[in-house]
């Protein structure tokens, strides 16, 4: 069996991955808060952990991996969006969840085995909070319940490598009066009549963000599971708080064994931000005609633990490579398995860039069946992602006749302006123009776009 090695944030080392139960390898990844379209940076963890999911399925069998990714559908940003638009919270979250699934599907991401919504697990969260209070790790105050960081000083901060004292010294937020320690974080908070709320022993309220992942991973994956993933912006405080909640409820050895964090995404060398005007969603890119498969390919070119830079140049190059690979593998059956070198690269802490380099070698050697099987392991060159690369079938005879007539006239008038105009327009549309004494032939190239022919006649 292939040995998978993963860089574990917890140990800060790349170590061999040994599942708790090879019959059921379990992974939890923090999902989106659903109030708006996913921006390109949101898609990175989705693609990264999709590749890991595919690798685990390849090594342990598709039926022996359980992947859970949540939807945060209770959050003040959602409440604000509802108030702003006059729409109901349910409408907004349902719509946003569907957008997310559509956009991530366009990037070739498989759907996880379970996609729990926070609002479906409120009783489980209330139970977990009650348990934390009874064990002395949380306290109720003014309608809130707070996790008492002092009750678990020995463990808090280990993942992100911070000590509680340093964190207190660095805390600049105004401390709420009901907090015993400035680092204490909210497990439950009160709701007013206009906010979504549920009855609880502490009054009508709603959960804090962190508790949902602890409660849902416990319900769906158990006290201990194999892998917890997410962007490295979630490491502190979100993941640190998840660990504190889960370990204090279920024991220090519980919760995730391997922690994986992906680095952030930039655009043309700059941090993506609304103020810089380089902020865009996955849907924006798809709308502009950038195929999802191309976005995925660009992502895979950078190792997940390195910052990745989205550039138009990379997208163009990725498109050219994918067109070449799709042409090479058209009508070909994939080999039984991916190339060993491709699998080995992925098994080495998800070295996707290395895997792609191996695939370039397969393409150079024209090993189409092996290239196709390897690409499928990375979620590329699948049938359902390939529509964009198909050369459209268009009857070009009208255009050929048009050019032929223009040439005949030009022979008489000695004015070739119209011939040149047509030839240039055909080339722009992605056609190769073959003219001989016998006639005229237009041959679609890989970039053929029939829309560009409109209005030529």
Judged by CB, which is closer to Zn ion: 38, or 286?
A: 38
User: What is the crossing angle of helices 312-329 and 292-300, to 10°?
Assistant: 110
Instruction: Pick between residue 255 and residue 426 the one whose CB is nearest to Zn ion.
Output: 255
Fill in the per-residue mask, 160 to 199: x = in contact with Zn ion (CB under 5 A), - = not in contact: ----------------------------------------
In terms of CB distance, is 30 or 40 closer to Zn ion? 30
Region label for 177, one of left (φ > 0), alpha (ψ between -120 and 50) or beta (otherwise): alpha
Distance CA 187, CA 248 (A): 13
Least distance between Zn ion and beta carbon 231 (Å): 10
CB of 125 to Zn ion, least distance (A): 13
Q: Which DSSP state fits 381? A: S
Q: Which is nearer to Zn ion, 108 or 229 (CB)?
A: 229
In 3D, which of 220, 225, 256 has the Cα closest to residue 25?
225
Instruction: Report DSSP state, residue 112.
Output: P
Query: Given the complex with Zn ion, which of 210 and 376 has the nearer CB atom?
Result: 210
List the one residue out of 123, 34, 111, 40 whose CA is nearest residue 79. Answer: 34
Q: Which is nearer to Zn ion, 212 or 319 (CB)?
A: 212
- Part of the chain binding Zn ion (CB under 5 A), chosen from 32-40, 87-95, 208-216, 332-340: 208-216
- What angle in degrees, to the nearest 10, is found between the helix axes of 89-106 and 76-85? 110
Q: Which is nearer to Zn ion, 108 or 230 (CB)?
A: 230
Is it true that the peptide bond before 237 is cis, omega within 30 degrees of 0?
Answer: yes
Between CA 113 and CA 65 the distance in angstroms is 9
What is the Cα–Cα distance from 294 to 275, expressed in whole angstroms?
Answer: 26
- CB nearer Zn ion, residue 214 or residue 352: 214
Nearer residue to Zn ion within complex by CB, 213 or 350? 213
- Backbone phi, then psi, for 28, in 5-degree steps? -120, 135
- CA–CA distance, 395 with 157 (Å, rounded to integer): 66
Is position 125 an interface residue for Zn ion (rule: CB under 5 A)?
A: no
Q: State the angle between helix axes of 368-377 and 40-60 in degrees (0 to 180), rounded to the nearest 10.
A: 110
104 lies in the binding site for Zn ion (CB under 5 A)? no
Residue 244 near Zn ion by CB under 5 A: no
- 415: helix, strand or coil: coil
Nearest distance, CB of residue 128 and Zn ion, angstroms: 14
Stretch that binds Zn ion, among 19-27, 29-37, 245-253, 293-301 (CB under 5 A): 29-37
The Cα–Cα gap between 381 and 374 comes to 9
Q: Dihedral (C-alpha) 59, 62, 68, 71: value to the nearest 10 degrees?
A: 120
**Least distance CB 83 / Zn ion (angstroms):** 25
Supply the minimum distance, in Å, between the C-beta of residue 213 and Zn ion: 3
Region from 18-26, 79-87, 213-221, 437-445 binding Zn ion, contact rule CB under 5 A: 213-221
- Rounded to whole angstroms, the Cα distance separating 81 from 88 reads 9
Q: Pick out residues in 261-300 that bind Zn ion (CB under 5 A).
A: none
> 440: which strand partners?
435
Tell me the H-state helices in 61-110.
76-85, 89-106
Cα 215 from Cα 340, distance rounded (Å): 39
| Residue range at the interface with Zn ion (CB under 5 A); choices 24-32, 59-67, 94-102, 161-169 | 24-32
Write down the least CB distance from residue 10 to Zn ion, Å: 15
CA angle 92, 97, 101 (to 5 degrees): 150
Closer by beta carbon to Zn ion, 213 or else 377 = 213
Distant-in-sequence, close-in-space partners of 457: CB < 8 Å, separation ≥ 6:
398, 399, 402
Closest distance of CB 18 from Zn ion, Å? 24
Tokens at 13, concatenated: 């080392």
Interaction of residue 29 with Zn ion, rule CB under 5 A: no
| Residue 68 Cβ vs Zn ion, minimum distance, rounded to whole Å | 11
Among residues 145, 213, 282, 339, which is the contact residue for Zn ion, using CB under 5 A? 213
Nearer to Zn ion, 237 or 430 (CB): 237
Shortest separation between residue 424's beta carbon and Zn ion, angstroms: 55
Site stretch for Zn ion (CB under 5 A), options 25-33, 46-54, 110-118, 392-400: 25-33
Judged on CB neighbours under 10 Å (0-12, 13-18, 19+), 235 is middle
Residue 128 within binding range of Zn ion, rule CB under 5 A: no
Q: How far is the CB of 247 from Zn ion (least distance, A)?
A: 15
Min dist CB 38 to Zn ion, Å, is 16
Q: Return the number of the residue (246 or 352) whose C-beta is nearest Zn ion.
A: 246
Smallest distance from Zn ion to CB 255, Å:
12
Q: Is residue 30 a contact point for Zn ion (CB under 5 A)?
A: yes
The yes or no reply on residue 347 touching Zn ion (CB under 5 A) is no
What is the SS3 assignment for 377?
helix
Point out which residues bind Zn ion (CB under 5 A).
30, 213
């Amino acid at each position: 069996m292939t040995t998978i090695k993963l860089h574990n944030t917890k140990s800060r080392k790349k170590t061999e991955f040994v599942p708790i139960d090879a019959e059921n390898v379990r992974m939890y990844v923090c999902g989106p808060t659903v109030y708006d379209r996913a921006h390109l940076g949101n898609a990175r963890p989705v693609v990264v952990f999709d590749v890991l999911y595919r690798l685990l399925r390849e090594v342990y069998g598709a039926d022996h991996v359980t992947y859970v990714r949540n939807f945060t559908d209770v959050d003040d940003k959602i409440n604000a969006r509802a108030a702003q638009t006059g729409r109901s919270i349910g409408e907004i979250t349902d719509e946003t969840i569907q957008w997310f699934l559509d956009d991530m599907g366009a990037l070739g991401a498989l759907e996880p085995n379970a996609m729990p919504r926070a609002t479906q697990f409120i009783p489980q969260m209330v139970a977990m909070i009650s348990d934390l209070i009874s064990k002395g790790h949380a306290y109720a105050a003014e309608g809130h319940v707070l996790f008492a960081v002092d009750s678990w000083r020995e463990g808090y901060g280990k993942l992100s490598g911070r000590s509680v004292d340093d964190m207190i010294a660095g805390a600049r937020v105004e401390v709420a009066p009901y907090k015993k320690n400035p680092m204490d974080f909210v497990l439950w908070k009160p709701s007013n009549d206009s906010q979504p709320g549920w009855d609880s022993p502490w009054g009508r309220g709603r959960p804090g963000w962190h508790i949902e992942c602890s409660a849902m991973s416990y319900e769906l994956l158990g006290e201990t599971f194999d892998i917890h993933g997410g962007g490295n912006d979630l490491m502190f405080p979100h993941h640190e708080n998840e660990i504190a909640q889960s370990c204090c409820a279920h024991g220090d050895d519980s919760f995730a064994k391997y922690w994986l964090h992906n680095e952030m995404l930039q655009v043309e060398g700059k941090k993506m931000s609304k103020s810089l005007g380089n902020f865009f969603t996955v849907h924006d890119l798809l709308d502009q005609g950038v195929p999802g498969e191309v976005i995925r390919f660009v992502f895979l070119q950078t190792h997940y633990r390195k910052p990745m830079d989205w550039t138009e140049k990379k997208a163009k190059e990725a498109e050219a490579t994918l067109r070449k690979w799709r042409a090479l593998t058209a009508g070909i059956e994939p080999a039984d398995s991916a190339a060993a070198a491709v699998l080995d690269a992925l098994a080495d802490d998800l070295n996707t860039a290395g895997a792609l380099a191996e695939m370039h070698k397969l393409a150079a050697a024209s090993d189409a069946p092996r290239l196709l099987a390897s690409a499928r392991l990375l979620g590329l060159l699948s049938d359902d992602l390939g529509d964009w690369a198909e050369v459209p079938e268009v009857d070009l005879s009208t255009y050929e006749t048009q050019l032929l007539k223009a040439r005949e006239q030009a022979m008489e008038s000695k004015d070739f302006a119209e011939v040149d105009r047509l030839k240039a327009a055909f080339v722009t549309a992605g056609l190769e123009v073959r003219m001989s004494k016998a006639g005229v032939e237009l041959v679609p190239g890989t970039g053929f776009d029939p829309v560009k022919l409109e209005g030529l006649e």
